[in-house]
Amino acid sequence: MTDIKEIIQSPIFAKQKKKLHENRLKGINNAVKMIFENPDIGDMKGGDLQGIRICEFKPMNNQILLAYEVDFKTLYLYAFGSYEHFYRDLKKYIH
């Protein structure tokens, strides 16, 4: 168990999550739970996305990327989506 005390969703993350069907929502929630239990599970990015981690998972055989950051005792959830244009859109949002 980690010492994360708070989870904050970005507005984009929350908006994307609202649009999901229940079965895909379970996949996202499971990924967030995995990240909460082990924040180092994602790959650390460099360059423009320095400090951001990307977790890859496959709910229902679709690869989904989830961008997050852990700062002290807070887990920030930035965005999730398929590989297509994910990094480009994430860079636009972060900067």
pTM for the structure as a whole:
0.89
| Number of H-type helices and E-type strands within the chain | 3, 5
Give residue-wise pLDDT tens across range 59-71.
777 889 999 999 9
Domains of the chain: 6-94 (3.30.2310.20)
pLDDT of residue 59: 73
Give residue-wise pLDDT tens across range 37-46.
999 999 999 8
In contact, 65 and 83? CB cutoff 8 Å:
yes
Q: Write down the residue that tokens 């995995």 correspond to.
A: 34
Give residue-wise pLDDT tens across range 76-85.
999 999 888 8
Q: How far apart are CA 46 and CA 8, in angstroms?
A: 22
